[in-house]
Each structure stands twice: as C-alpha cells, then as structure tokens.
Chains A and B, each alone.
Chain A
Amino acid sequence: MSTETSHSAPPQSAFGTGRSGLVLPAILLLLGIYLSIGIITMEVPDGAKQPGPKFFPILITIAIFILAALLSMQLLRNPEPVPDDRQGYRSYSDWKTVALVAAGFLAFALLLVPAGWLISASLLFWTVAFALGSKNWAQVLAIAVVFASVIQLAFGAALGLNLPSGILEGLIG
C-alpha cells in the first residue's frame, strides 16, 4: 500500500499529475528484478537437457524489462488526461476505503488460525460492509455472524471442509 494519490486536486504543473500510472511499470520492474535474481541463483540439476529451466523465464524477464521501459516512456510523454472538473472528485480512487478492505482481509488471514473461522470471518464481513458504507453496525454484525455460521455449518458439516474453530474449539462442532 505504498501508492499515494492525493485527494485534493494537485496543481496542474506537478510532475506526478496523470502519471501515477507509473506504479505499474514499477511493479513490472520489481517483478523483473525478482525473476532475474531467481534465474541467477537457480540451481539447475546436473544433466538437465537444453533448453533448461532457465530458458523460458529468461525470455519472460527480458520482455518484462522491455515493456516496463516502453510503458514508462509512454506515460512520461503523454500523461493521463486530467479531468476538467476541478473538483476532480469522481475520477480519483478512494484509497481510504481500499485500505480498509485490504486491512480487513489481512486481519482475516492472520486471525483465521488463532481465532477461528467464526470470529475472523464475521470480522471480515463486518469490516468490508462498514468500509463500503453500511451505517447500522449492530445489524451488520448480526448478519456477519449469521453468515459466517451458515458457511461453517454448510461447508464444514455438509461438504467436509476443515475450517479452523480457533479459540471457540469445543464450543462448536
């Protein structure tokens, strides 16, 4: 979540205006670097036939670097058009809501095993519904718990999926 886009309309002349899309070539660059390191450090078993396991990744990595360069050049030359309405409100992403949802999912991933499905899934449902604009938090919480329980029953009992019960171990089947 290192990307930052200011909500207030930035001044027209700023270099970053319309160029926040550079974040994707940057991701491609990181990906290319990761692949390069992987290719260099890869241990190829003896007797591997040519072309070996490095062959195809090398092609991909070269293509990734070329595309990252081309995409950045394109953006540097022609930045995305800045919307005319100076409010600029509708065209900017709502990073706060995105961060809330992402944080909710991260908490779910980390809490699932220690706290159990029921608690972590209810929390996830509640966080997302809250982030997307539900006002009545008590009602949402009730729906969240019911939803998580139904899934635990339907998938745990009926289909035999093993969902962790966490700290509620023993309380529920």
Chain B
Amino acid sequence: MESLTLLLEGFSQALTPMNLLWVFIGAFLGTAVGVLPGLGSSMAVALLLPMTFSLDPVGAFIMFAGVYFGGLFGDSTMGILMNTPGGSTAIATTFEGHRMAKDGRAPQALATSAIGAFIGGMIATTLVVFSAPKLAGIAVVFGPAEYFALAVFAFIATASVVSDSALKGLASLLVGLALAVVGIDGISGASRFTANVPQLFDGVSIIVITVGVLALGEVLHVASRIHRDEKLTAISVSGRPYLSRSEVREAIPAWLRGTAFGVPFGVIPVGGAEVPTFLACGTERQLDRKRRTPKFGTGAIRGVAAPEAAGNATSGTAMGALLALGLPTSATAAIMLAAFQQYGLQPGPMLFERNADLVWALLASLFIGLVMLLGLNLPFAPLWAKLLLIPKPYLFAGITVFCGLGVYATGASVVDLLLVLVIGFIAFLMRRYGYPLAPVMIGVVLGPLAETSLRNALMSSGGELSILVGSAITIVLYALLVAMIGYTLWRRVASRRRQDV
C-alpha cells in the first residue's frame, strides 16, 4: 500500500489553508463556467492559464483540478433547465433531465446529476491513484522512439477517431503542429518561420494560442449566432434539493453502471467523453424497457444518473492518462499539459519519479475538489441556476476583456494581441465549418515533443527508420492505434449501413 502513504502525504500538502482556497476558487469558477451557456472548462482553463503564473505549481494545478471537474458538474444544469446542453458531454443527460424538470422535479434532476458526477469522479480518481504509479515502473524504458510513438498515438487518436470527419480533424492537428514549429529550433538553433519578428523567436506563446482558439474564437462564434438563435427560457428551480431514499435506491445502480462505462474511455481516446455518456444512457434505456413499469420518456432518474457518472468517470481516468502517460485526451487536458510544461515538468512516465510530491498533492486535491464540488452543487443548485440570468452581452464583453488582459499580461506585447485576434478568427472559421478544435491544442502541445523525439531517435540510429518500431512498447502502441482506427472505420461503416435501411 505504498500508494496510500504517498496519497496521505499528498493530502497533508493539499490541506493547507492557501491550497484549500485555490481548490475552492477552482471549483467555484469551474461550476460557474459550466453552468453559463457557451462556456466550458476548456475556456475557463485557457483564461486562467495566464493568471496562474504567479502561483507555485502545486497551487496552480490544484486550482486547475477544481476547474476541470467543476465544468462537468455545471454543464448539465443548463441542459436540464433549458433543454440546451452546455457541452457535448451533457447531451445524453438532457433527454431525461429536462423531462424531469418539466415534470416539476428539477431539483431532484440536478441533485442526481451532481451526485452522479461525484461518484463517477471519485471511483475513477481512486483507480488512478492505485494504477497510475504502476506505469512509472516502465518509465526507464521510454526513449525517444517510444515518446514519438506516444505522440503519434495521441495525434491520430484525437484527430481522426474523435472527430466526425477524419480529414477535418487532421487539418486541425496540422494547424496546431504548424504553430508549434514557429520559433528558434531547440536542437540546431536555426530560426524558423519567424519572419525576423523578434517576438516570435520564442515561438507563438501557448497562451496566445489557447486564448485565441478556445476563448476569443468562442466569443466570435457566439457573436455570429446571437442574433440568429432563438431566446431560451429556463425552468425555475424550487423545492427540496435532496433525493428521497427511494430515489437514491433507484439511482444507485445507474450511477455505478455509468461509472463502469466511463472509466475505460478516459485512457483510450476513442471518442471523447460523449461516447460513454451515450453508451451509459442507451444501456439504461435498454434495461428500463425490460422493467414492469418503464420510466424512460417520463423523466427517468436513471437517465440522468448514468450519463453524468460516465462523463465524470471519463474525466477522472483522463487525468490519470495525462499524468502517467502524458497523453491529453481533450482540449482541457492539453492546456493542463501546457501548464505543466510552463513549469518545466513533462507529464509522462517520469513524472511520478521526479515530481512525486506534486503529483500526489494534485491527486489528493482531486478528491478534495470533488467533495467541495458536491458541497457547492447539491445545496446551492438553485443559486447556480440564477447565473443563467446574466445578460449574454455583458458576459461575453467581460470574457473578451479578459482575453485581452490575459494575453497582454503575460507578454506585454501588442504583437501578441494582434496574433490572438488572427488565431481567434481562424478558430472561429474552423468552428463555423465543423473543424474540431481539440486537435489544434494537442498538436501545439505535443508537437515539440514529437519533433524532438523523432529527430533524436533518427540521430541516434543514423537515419535508420526501423528504430521507430524497434521496441515492444512502440509496436504495442502502433498496433493499438491500428486496432482503434479499424474499429472506428467498422463502426462508421456499420452506422452508415443502418441509416440506409
């Protein structure tokens, strides 16, 4: 039980008043952006990234952990009350959740989703605590070829498997990779694609890219739609926010089944967090039909419980994949990876050895964050719902000002402000035409790792390409990748065939 003692040490580090404050701020902000329409945890993390540089790494990551889970607690609120999911992971919850709300059971629906998110996150994080350190054992055998295989795995998985259109996903990935090669080359010292602008010698700042892609691009997207989409109305929340004993008994199996669906999906990026939520919801529906009195369609509590647990379980294990493998499976995880790099840390097999205290404090704060989120969400759901009343023009005007602040604060450069506008506009166009944005972030963050490890591997082998598949780990990774692509292709062909009939 080595993990337990290490975890207890992590708790002792995370349970200082200052760090508790950071968890609270993170959880609070995360829930707020989750509830607010059009904002997600990725945008919150993007806007927070510039602000956290004055913090020590532990404080910064503890706060990110709060935001990371908080976004998932909040995003179902809007789906349940307004029938408009706040994010793709909340779509499955919306079906039955909104029916419950229309039925006058809005507080119960919100409570079910909050407890579901809590249970899913708890179980997944516990699994991470006990399994991730095992991966540190294989750390020693990770050389350049293995890191390159890992980066390729992340690239192809997010670009082609997660996105609807493999071509669009790959195009997004290449935009990210192209942004990553700007600046002075670390190995040879050559200046690349800087057009002799001194501000670009260090490369395009990761903050400029994250704020542009995830925050300013989003504001422009909202601007393009705000006079087009219909106004939404929210169902008001009143009544007891707690679940009765029979409701809990009804929901427990669904929470657990949902968690079981979510856990594996965090590590293998075959479709982001929305796939397990839909699988969990679909299974509950199947099981429900076999019962004597089917509840689906009339606001089934299980239809809310299962997908919420699945969504947060996915994020929990995704955090494990990020820490143990350095493999980001979402835009938010990619930004956290970028934050690690800003502090000179490289998530991956070595992290558990070199920065054990930081990792365990982060894992401990995930638990603290989850408890705090439950405390913030369960009794105060009606208050959070009030956030939906903030006028959108003010909300997005404030976010735009924060974009400007964050970018200027880190570099004090007007060039960065112009660059963020260009990147934001391109990101908006990409969204407009259905290009996924997560691959851009993953390309930017993992691009340098892929390039250095590829070149180092080839340098050591004297240009011999076979070194890239020279070890068991690389072969396993590439085989997994091929299997994943095969499965996706099969699934797509199968679903197309079903449509035709």
Residues in chain A within 8 A of chain B (CB atoms)? 1, 3, 20-21, 23-24, 27-28, 31, 34-35, 38, 42-45, 48-53, 55-57, 60, 63-64, 67-68, 70-71, 74, 89-90, 92-95, 97-98, 100-102, 104-106, 108-110, 112-113, 121, 124-134, 140, 143-144, 147-148, 151, 155, 159-163
Contact = CB atoms under 8 A, between A and B. Distances in A.
Given A56-B181, A140-B397, 8 more contacts: A50-B463, A51-B455, A56-B455, A97-B226, A124-B397, A132-B393, A133-B226, A159-B51
Contact of B193 (A34, A45, A127): A34
Nearest to A139: B394
Contact of A101 (B398, B400, B459, B463): B400
B485 interface: no
B421 A109 contact: yes
A69 to B, nearest CB: 10
B228 interface: yes
A132 B432 contact: no
Nearest to A63: B174
A60 B181 contact: yes
A90 B75 CA distance: 24
Contacts of B222: 132
A80 to B, nearest CB: 8
A101 B219 contact: yes
Contacts of B454: 51, 56
Given A31-B178, A51-B458, A121 B393 contact: no
B93 to A, nearest CB: 25
A75 B192 CA distance: 32
Interface stretch (B282-290, B335-343, B409-417): B409-417
Interface in B192-210: 192-193, 195
B187 A49 contact: yes
B78 interface: no
17 contacts: A21-B433, A24-B430, A50-B463, A52-B188, A63-B170, A67-B167, A74-B167, A90-B229, A94-B226, A105-B216, A109-B404, A109-B421, A125-B398, A133-B227, A133-B393, A134-B394, A159-B54
Contacts of A67: 167, 170-171, 174
A43 to B, nearest CB: 7
B414 A98 contact: no
B433 A55 contact: no
A128 B396 contact: yes
B175 A95 contact: no
Interface residues of B, number: 66
Interface of B: 51, 54, 167-168, 170-171, 174-175, 177-178, 181, 185, 187-193, 195, 216, 219-220, 222-229, 391-394, 396-398, 400-401, 403-405, 408-409, 412, 414, 417-418, 421, 424-426, 428-430, 432-433, 435, 450-451, 454-455, 458-459, 463
Contacts of A106: 418, 421
A160 B412 CA distance: 13
Contacts of A102: 220, 421, 424-425
Contact of A57 (B181, B412, B435): B181
Contacts of B54: 159-160
A106 B175 CA distance: 23
A52 B458 CA distance: 10
B429 A24 contact: yes
Contact of A71 (B167, B190, B227, B409): B167
A109 B193 CA distance: 23
A155 to B, nearest CB: 7
A110 B432 CA distance: 27
A48 B190 contact: yes
Given A50-B459, A101-B400, A106-B421, A57 B193 contact: yes
A74 to B, nearest CB: 7
Nearest to A133: B393
Contact of A3 (B170, B228, B429): B429
B22 to A, nearest CB: 14
A67 to B, nearest CB: 5
A22 to B, nearest CB: 9
B226 A98 contact: no
Contacts of B185: 53
Most buried by A among B175, B223, B400: B223
B59 to A, nearest CB: 13
A52 B414 CA distance: 32
Nearest to A27: B426
Nearest to B462: A50
B421 A95 contact: no
A155 B455 CA distance: 42
Nearest to B421: A105
Nearest to A37: B193
A100 B451 CA distance: 39
